[in-house]
Structure 1
Amino acid sequence: MSDAFSHSDPAQVTIEGIRKAADLISGAVLKTPCLPAPRLSRLTGADVYVKYENMQVTGAFKERGALVKLSSLGESERKRGVIAVSAGNHAQGVAYHAGRLGIPATIVMPALTPFVKISATRDYGAEVVLIGNTLAEAKAEADRLAAEKNLVWVHPYDDAHVIHGQGTIALEMLEAQPDLDTLVIPVGGGGLISGMAVAAKAIKPSIEVIGVETVLYPGMWGAMHGKDVRCEGATIAEGIAVRDIGLLTTEVVKQTVDEIILAKESTIEQAINAYLTLLRTIAEGAGAAGLAGMLTDPDRFAGKRVGLVLCGGNIDPRLLSKIVVRELARDGRLVSIRIDTPDRPGVLGEIATTIGDMQGNVVDVAHHRLFLNVPAKGATLDVTFEAFDRPHGEEIVTALRQRGFTVRHLEIGERMD
């Protein structure tokens, strides 16, 4: 990338720069609400406030930094056009505001980027290039295109203009909720937490700033602790699946961030589901990472006034529906069982009646007769039913066993071999 991204002096990122960025984006980027979340407070044991950056036009916070960077370009740079590498949200932020400003934009994305983000980026008028399976592979192609076409880089995180734009979120949060004790912020390359930490510490030096990464991509955690880490794997939080964190952001984080928490994939799924079912709002994996951090270490936040950044809501609807089903299963409200039965008329009705009489709701049945591991005079039923909670589900299973059926639990989606 260009020399603009090779400077790692944290003095580049200032509260003055963040305040100027706030003036610059005023009216062009939504000043999203920061509201109390009583149901998340009950879930976590903290006093939780949520900053709804999923309400931006592009569904994520990234357009703040993108607009600040694009606005800094001279006329000749605008005519040359810009290029960016992104798994989705930075892509949309650059595409949307480049279109508004009349700047040609090329976005290089990994081929495995969720289609909802690819489609949205194209709809904003950018030229989208899909290549490779990782951001590193996409960046290699973007480097080639930038040199070939003399395009201007808009880095997703390691640029002072971008960091200043992201820092405006902290200004708005502390204006709306000045008594916050702690900010919990998702971490990918570090642009969001760098800007927010500089702003928050300048306004309120006593405030804690906690970052959250997925356990599969702990790059900033490794940098803070001086440890070599491996960053790889398929994560539901692809927006923070960053292998190469920023040079500038790393220096800022070391000076301003108090701690990085690593969240498991299952906990991020739980956080996505909590946003949907408790707050009736949509969070993508990266957007839910802050809440996942609180769920990972609830004692760390108990009794504190905590500000969460719901930084993005661009999740594939099919993935969201799958997460909801998986969380119902984890909570014991969706139960999948296998029942060995005699192959005679009325057995299925007897099983369904038993479940229904106990106020369970059958949602799926698979009836197996022809597999060789099923007795010739027998059958096997895979039944999935809804229950009020885990104890209710166990009561239904017990009732089936009391009627003489052999029952064992299955994982949701498990089927006959």
Structure 2
Amino acid sequence: MTALQNIYWRKIGVIGLLRLFTGVAQFTVIILVTSALTLQDVGSYTLFTIYLNYTAQFAGFSFYTYFVRTISTISPKELGPTLYQIWIALFFTVGSTIFCMCILVWTGLLHISNIFLFFLLVILTVFNTQHENFLVAVRAPVIAAFLLLLRSCWVYVALVIHYLGFFDLSLEFVYQLWIASEAVAAIMILIYLRAERMLPTTVHPIDIAWIKRGLCSSLKYTVLGFLLILTVSSQRVFLSPYGGEQYVGIFHFFYVVSVFGPNLVEATIYAVLLPRIIRATSEAGHVFLPPSFRIMGFMLAINVVGLGLLYLILPYAFGFLGKVELATHFEVIRATICFALLYTASRGFHYQLYAAGADNWILGTYTLSALAGCGTSYLLIPKYGLTGASVSLVFTGMTMLVALCLPFVMRLNLSLTGRTTSR
């Protein structure tokens, strides 16, 4: 192995470790909130974060999907002026956030007492997300991964505060810690950009045409991101008016503990292998690549074992959490585990289609999945509560998997009938 390869794999290892700690923080927060607060508080926190994700996706407009491609083709001297145009584009975030907040408050989904905290979190989340992608584009992925971890450090601070008994945790205090963590990350971003001489040094003319192209180009990815969030969250949103925030908290707890492992495995494996899959797909000229499906099978096998152990071990954790209601509704985890496996199985097809540039098929898939999730939630949850939400989640996962694998099944059938040309 050459020295260059050694550096590459060390960098991948550092990024993987930073992402591991970030993932653990995202898992730890639900354990912390569940043990320290009531299940109703867990439900309130869940809905707050879901609406935050909706708003951040809409307000941020996935603009990074445009400027990341632009940055890769410009000289270092042009980074400052380009970043200036990005900042101008991000002013849309403020107006979009206020618009979304008005809708959420008007519909009663967001309590008016949380408006200021919600606004700050959306603005900081969008700012940090866009700049992390900027850093990845300028070949600083380790810094970007570190900043992502820094944004999650509030969880570890809250954990220490709670278990050492410094303060009694409350939802408001949790949100304040979260804002502080995001603010520190934003300051660190500006410090790093200044140190690397990437910050704009003068006021530049606003390039309306460039910003307009970027907003139009990223529209598809904004819709796709929104549909992805809606696909995996519709059951919890519909549970709120019909089952109450306590049911939302119960369902969210089982969902998070089920998808944590699969998400971590996916992030670790595909962070390394996705560029290779894209290159192999481009060279092969088609998307039916057995090696990538072997990777998917390996991921599925790991998750089957991990989720099986989770199913056996989790009941013993209910005493530690002090929540009898979780044991009462333990059957929900069967649905969340089933969804986690369906989701894992679908990711290989998703990345193959992504590598082949089949964006329209992916967009259609998640549109169908979101409709399936919302439709079944609307029909089942009012009558069957948590059971209806569980059935809806599994049906959504099945819809996603079938829609994503359909092009490959069609290709396989053509191959078996001998109607395809030689590759």
| Common fold: TM-score over 0.5 | no
Bigger share in strand: 1
Bigger share in helix: 2
Classify the TM-score, shorter chain.
Answer: under 0.3
Which structure would you say has the larger RCO, counting Cα contacts within 8 Å and 6 or more residues apart?
2
Considering only CA atoms, is the larger Rg found in Structure 1 or Structure 2?
Answer: 1
TM-score scaled to structure 1, two decimals?
A: 0.27
